Structure 1
Amino acid sequence: MKKQLQNTLLLLLYLSGNLVFAQTDWDAKIKQELPKILEKHRELVSIPNVASDEANMMKNVDWVTKAFKELDFEVSILKTSTLPVFLAEKQVNPKAKTILFYLHLDGQAVNPQKWNQKDPFRPVLKEQDDDGVWQIINWSRIKTYIDPDWRVFGRAAADDKAPIIMMLSALEFLQKEQQKLQYNVKIILDLQEETRSKGFLSTLETYKNKYAADYMIIMDGPAHPTNKPTLTFGCRGIATINISIYGAKLPQHSGHYGNYAPNPVFSMSHLLASMKDETGKVVIDGFYDGITLDTETQKLLAQVPDDNVQIQKSLGISKPDNVGKTYQEALQYPSLNVRHIETSWKGPGLKTIIPEIVTAYLDVRLVKETNGKAQLDKVKKHIESQGYLVLNRKPIDSERSKHTKIATITTNAGVSAFRTDINSFIGKKLRTTISNAFGNDPIMIRTMGGTVPITPAIQVLDIPAIIVPMVNMDNNQHNPNENIRIGNITQGIKICLAILSMKL
């Protein structure tokens, strides 16, 4: 009876929290404040944020420091081996749960000549004309009417300054409505995410207590192409292996030594071809070991509203690799990719030479069930099974004269994958929270294809992590003409409001 009463009280507490959220017309309030929000976004995006430009990065830090302090957050600028880490904290109760939010403040480098605007760090507002071409419109138009399909173009407009503005806006709304946070909040802004988070990762042990939390929410990356609210429960990792194969000791004239000096490019082509069959499946022994997709997992993958025919059409391919039956299934397996091949000649034009060396650069995308070192060992064993003497250095003359096939490999076990159980407490809580806010279940992605460089932080801090991506998929992330759809900004603010209002 006592336990039943406790459960009833917990349910009432949970419902009361959701009732407060439901009773507030956030859509109307966001619409009313949207011009000011867009001006703030414009102001932040106007500060260049390439990590190599420390002076401007610190201007970004100054901007967000002021913004979070105005919301009564305690701000710390944590020293690292390189650029600092920005940490904002608000404690509501020492005994309450804590969520650590991760975002990043830096953006990719730019080549201004490839942008369709004068300055990638001077954001412009655009709408599509009847031919689907994005045309610049005057910022003054946001004062009278805002089309959710308009977009703001500028470096980091989406990745990752839009989520920062979404979070700040949500916190400001809660402050104005005098709605208190239900749990302790910590917010990390990484200043070097685009360059592998070197500074942040170097501080994991030093500031482990500062970063300590019960759950981690990563606000980075694009939502599903439908732009519906999305939860992503993991990401793939990445390991790399470089393979060099040798011919003669020096490059040779193809007229003098053609038909005599072996060309290592052909040897490399045979070796690489031996790693996959004609359907695209990796045939390296044990490469897919440990991967099982049970009925529940297959149902989870099937609920993602991908149009696989359209994906193939957009890629310009008639048929995908035969690894998974769908795009989502394919992401559940480790992949083997050749990302670059080069010979010794790198100058302009072509030469009639037989190269003395060819190097192939491969990457292996990892899933939670696979280990980077183990996967690379499988690749090495496969190379040996093809008759190669495998070295970790260049061969010496006695080895060249004795062995027909010699390969030098260098490996990096890289970054592991992570995946949080969809039925974990935080997984269920986020799903219910967003469902209540939007009237429909969010799209749930079991594993996204890319790699989040902060995965080691998830492992060291030992906390369940979920990615809440909010920007539009077609934002040209890392490319010229990066953009954010305004409709995604408003939806992202509402997602942040829902998450910040939930009871743990």
Structure 2
Amino acid sequence: MQIQTIVDYFKKERERHLEELKQFLRIPSISAVTDHKGDILHCAEWVAESLRQAGMENVEIMPTEGHPVVYADWLHAPDAPTVLIYGHYDVQPADPLELWEMEPFEPVIKDGKLFGRGSTDDKGQLMLHVKAVEAFMQTEGKLPVNVKFCIEGEEEIASKHLPAFVETHTDKLAADLITLSDTQMHGPGQPTLMYGLRGLAGIELSVQGANSDLHSGLYGGAVQNPIHALSELLASFHDAEGRVAVEGFYDEVIPLSQQEREAFKKVEPDEEKIRKDLQVKDLYGEKGYSFYEQTTSRPTLEITSVSGGFQGEGIKPIIPNLATAKIACRLVAAQVPDHVMDAIEDHVVKHTPAGVQVSVKRSLWGNPFITPIDHPVMVSAAKAYEETYGAYPVYTRSGGSIPIVEVFGRLLEAPVVMLGFGLPGENLHAPNEHFHLENWDKGLETISRFWLKIAQSNE
């Protein structure tokens, strides 16, 4: 079929679609506030009805230990792949209200932007997929691919119950690929494919010395000071050039390809500007990698806090009996958090100074995620973006983590494509959140092109 038929439908129905989106935005579905539990349920019902009206089948509001998940499917394309679409209908609180230029839950369109809480994160972007379904059903009577929706109400409170839900319902959610639109483009007119997220491993170190604090005049110099020992141990985690010195730390890291490094040059920030903005004399990091590569695509080991001894005003001349530190590691594909923490524990054993005992507590886990940029679904997504925007997408990785993305990819054993249409500066999580309507229009077209391309690639 011709994409123009779909695009014409979007143009014809644009005013109605935006009015429906405004209805969605008026529901204060704030997941973090107990008083809004009724609004959350109302919003789930609204989403379910919207999916039914679009042409989806088997629509269910499925309970979790927290807020419900809305599920729907349309599975009548036997020779086509199945796409699972993830999104969330919950939003952040609107506070501080006095900084909004309009009512946060009374959406308005101004200067080509739709203002309102949830407009870019994630109600506006989620509705792109719903309206793409409607367009195909109304013009063709069918979809080019099989489609499933999994829309949660707890993303803004860290998707507390969704991993268990996905694990319980892997058969129901099974798909050939997962897509979501909850990320940003690099800039206006510049589509972006974020294809990697870092994982996380966190540990806490406790260095125990004597059985109590000691008088420094009576014992100083003769009994090991846990703060001295901890300082020596922490210093051993990196070499002089910023590389993590833990044996085996890099063993599972997938090296950056030359194609990736060339792609990153298009999104590299100005390192001199970063230095000046941060008011630091020099930047620091693993040699041979740019600032962007270091912060998105290389693993790190950061000491996030150190504590020990008397913390009050003045100096208390003691040898403390305990010193502690917390460490957070950002991981990249294909590192496994427990393997990294095993390596750190081995390092601690080998480098513990005499006179103290060190205990290690594991406290944070999060797997990294990556869909290679040359994966067929990524190639199709890149072409869909290019045909819509007239610009080939740039490829980015995130320095942070979106745990549920990795959960979907791992449990469903499928690639994840993040089709973001937000822009930097749209104030997600802040007052005056908005969504540029140019990207509403182009988002609808991009998603439609993407479905057509992955259907064609399967023929």
Interval of TM-score (by shorter of Structure 1 and Structure 2): 0.7 to 0.9
Distance in 2, Cα, partners of 1:202 & 1:195: 15
Contact 1:40-1:165 at 8 Å conserved across structures = no
Distance in 1, Cα, partners of 2:184 & 2:64: 28
Identity of paired residues, percent? 24
Distance 1:151 1:68, change over 3 A: closer
Which amino acid in the other structure matches residue 424 of structure 2?
M
Q: Give 2:125's match in structure 1, choosing from 159, 163, 177.
A: 163
> What residue number does 1:322 align with?
285
Task: Report the CA distance between 1:64 and its aligned residue.
Answer: 0.9
Task: Indicate whether 1:209 and 2:171 are aligned.
Answer: yes
Task: Report the CA distance between 1:249 and its aligned residue.
Answer: 4.1
Distance 1:457 1:42, change over 3 A: closer
Task: Report the CA distance between 1:192 and its aligned residue.
Answer: 2.5
Distance 1:32 1:456, change over 3 A: closer
Distance in 1, Cα, partners of 2:205 & 2:124: 40
Matches within 5 A, 1:101-116: 101-108=85-92, 110=93, 112-113=95-96, 116=99
Task: Report the CA distance between 1:302 and its aligned residue.
Answer: 3.0
Contact 2:45-2:61 at 8 Å conserved across structures = no
Contact 2:29-2:90 at 8 Å conserved across structures = no
Structure 2 stretches of 5 or more lacking a match? none
Contact 2:6-2:135 at 8 Å conserved across structures = no
Matches within 5 A, 1:391-406: 404-406=355-357
Contact 1:238-1:413 at 8 Å conserved across structures = yes
Task: Report the CA distance between 1:216 and its aligned residue.
Answer: 0.9
Distance in 2, Cα, partners of 1:180 & 1:216: 20
Matches within 5 A, 1:427-446: 427-445=378-396
Aligned residues, how many? 446
Distance 1:208 1:23, change over 3 A: closer
Computed over aligned residues only, the root mean square deviation of the Cα atoms, in angstroms, reads 3.6
> What residue number does 1:396 align with?
none
Distance 1:26 1:267, change over 3 A: farther
Distance in 2, Cα, partners of 1:302 & 1:316: 24
> What residue number does 1:301 align with?
264
Distance in 2, Cα, partners of 1:422 & 1:342: 43
Structure 1 stretches of 5 or more lacking a match? 1-16, 126-138, 389-402
> What residue number does 1:244 align with?
206
Task: Indicate whether 1:122 and 2:104 are aligned.
Answer: yes
Q: Give 1:79's match in structure 2, choosing from 54, 63, 68.
A: 63
Distance 1:22 1:260, change over 3 A: farther
Contact 1:158-1:483 at 8 Å conserved across structures = yes
Task: String of CA shifts for 1:75-124, please: whole Å, max 9, x gaps.
Answer: 1223334433221212232443110111123345x4835862499x8347
Task: Indicate whether 1:49 and 2:31 are aligned.
Answer: yes
Distance 1:196 1:24, change over 3 A: closer
Distance 1:208 1:252, change over 3 A: same
> What residue number does 2:424 align with?
473
Distance in 2, Cα, partners of 1:153 & 1:486: 12
Distance 1:438 1:345, change over 3 A: same
Which amino acid in the other structure matches residue 384 of structure 2?
T
Matches within 5 A, 1:296-445: 296-304=259-267, 306-323=269-286, 325-330=289-294, 331-343=296-308, 350=313, 352-353=315-316, 356-388=321-353, 404-412=355-363, 414-445=365-396
Which amino acid in the other structure matches residue 90 of structure 2?
D
> What residue number does 2:398 align with?
448
In structure 2, the residue corresponding to 1:498 is in which secondary structure?
A: helix
Distance in 1, Cα, partners of 2:350 & 2:149: 50
Task: String of CA shifts for 1:204-262, please: whole Å, max 9, x gaps.
Answer: 34312210111111322333245621112221111111112235545678899888886
Distance in 2, Cα, partners of 1:282 & 1:498: 44
Moved more, 94-103 or 320-329: 320-329
Task: String of CA shifts for 1:300-351, please: whole Å, max 9, x gaps.
Answer: 33344644444445544454333253244222211112233445889xx747
Contact 1:92-1:182 at 8 Å conserved across structures = no
In structure 2, the residue corresponding to 1:112 is in which secondary structure?
A: coil
In structure 2, the residue corresponding to 1:233 is in which secondary structure?
A: strand
What TM-score, normalized to structure 1?
A: 0.76
Distance 1:70 1:157, change over 3 A: same
Task: Indicate whether 1:96 and 2:80 are aligned.
Answer: yes
Q: Give 2:152's match in structure 1, choosing from 180, 190, 199.
A: 190
Distance 1:378 1:309, change over 3 A: same
Task: String of CA shifts for 1:127-184, please: whole Å, max 9, x gaps.
Answer: xxxxxxxxxxxx4xx3xxx424x56353x44332232233334444445555742011
Distance 1:34 1:218, change over 3 A: closer
Task: Indicate whether 1:288 and 2:230 are aligned.
Answer: no
What TM-score, normalized to structure 2?
A: 0.83
